[in-house]
Structure 1
Amino acid sequence: MEKWTPRHEAPEPLEGPVVATVTGGTILWFVLFLAQLPFYGWFDDHGHTWWIWTCLAGAGLGLIGIWYVRGRDAAIKRAAAGGTAPDGSVPDAGVRH
C-alpha cells in the first residue's frame, strides 16, 4: 500500500469565470435546440427526436446552473469581504456591544 500514498499536497482548486462558462454553455444548448427545431420532421422520421429534447433539457438545466453559480459567486464574495463566515453564519449575529 506504500506506493499509493501521496507524496505531496494536493493543489488548490482552480477558480475561473464559472458564471460566464455556465452561461455560455446554456446559450450553446439553446442555440443547438433552435438550430434543430426546423428539422423536427426529419428527426421524427428517423427516431431521433430525443436529440432536440436533450438540447432543450440542457438549456433548462443550464438556467438552474446559472442561478446556482451566481449565488455561489455572490456568497464567495460576501465571505471574502467579511459579510459572513465561510460556513454561512453571520459573525456576531445578535450580539450587542
Structure 2
Amino acid sequence: MAKWTPKHEAPEPLEGPVVATITGGTILWFVLFLVQIPFYGWFDDRDLMWWVWTCLAGGGLGLIGIWYVRRRDVAIKRAKAAEAAEPGSSPAASD
C-alpha cells in the first residue's frame, strides 16, 4: 500500500463560476424533465419511467446545490474580506 501513497501535496482546487455552473445544470435537468412530460405514455409503455424521474430528481438536487454554492460563495467572500481587514496582514505573510 505504501507505493500508492502520494509523494506530493494536492493542488489547489480550481475556482470558477460555480454558482452559474450549478444553476445552468439545474435548469438543464428541469428542461429535460419538461421535454419528457409529453412522452410520459411512451416511457411508461417501455418501462423507462426512471428517465423522467431522474431528470426531476436532478432538478430537485440542483436546487439544493444552488442553495449550497451560493452560501459557500458568500462565506468565501466574507473570509477574504475579514482576512484583508486584519491589521498587519499582508498577502506575502500567508504564503
TM above 0.5, yes or no, is yes
Residues 41 and 74 of structure 1: is their aligned pair in 2 closer, same or farther, counting only changes over 3 Å?
same
Say yes or no: does 1:27 pair with 2:15: no
Which blocks of at least 5 consecutive residues in structure 2 are unaligned? 84-95
RMSD: 1.6
Q: 1:64 to 1:2 in 2, by over 3 A?
A: closer
Instruction: Please give the residue correspondences for 1:31-50 in structure 2 after superposition, counting only pairs within 5 Å.
Output: 31-50=31-50
* Alignment partner of 1:79 is 2:70: no
Alignment of 1:56-95 (within 5 A): 56-82=56-82
Question: Residue 11 of structure 1: CA displacement?
Answer: 1.2
Higher RCO structure, 1 or 2 (CA under 8 Å, sep 6+): 2
Amino acid in structure 1 at the alignment position of 2:48: H
Structure 1 alignment gaps of length 5 or more: 84-97
For residues 28-63 of structure 1, the C-alpha deviation after alignment (integer angstroms, 9 at most, x for no partner) is 100100111100010011111111011011001100
CA pair 3-50 structure 1, distance change in 2 beyond 3 A: closer
- How many corresponding residue pairs? 83
Shift of 1:8: 2.9
CA-CA distance at 1:5 after TM superposition: 4.4
Q: TM-score, normalised by structure 2?
A: 0.79
Distance 1:2 1:49 in 2: 46
Measured after TM superposition, the shift of residue 26 of structure 1 is 0.2
TM-score (norm 1): 0.77
Indicate the percent of aligned positions where both proteins have the same amino acid: 81
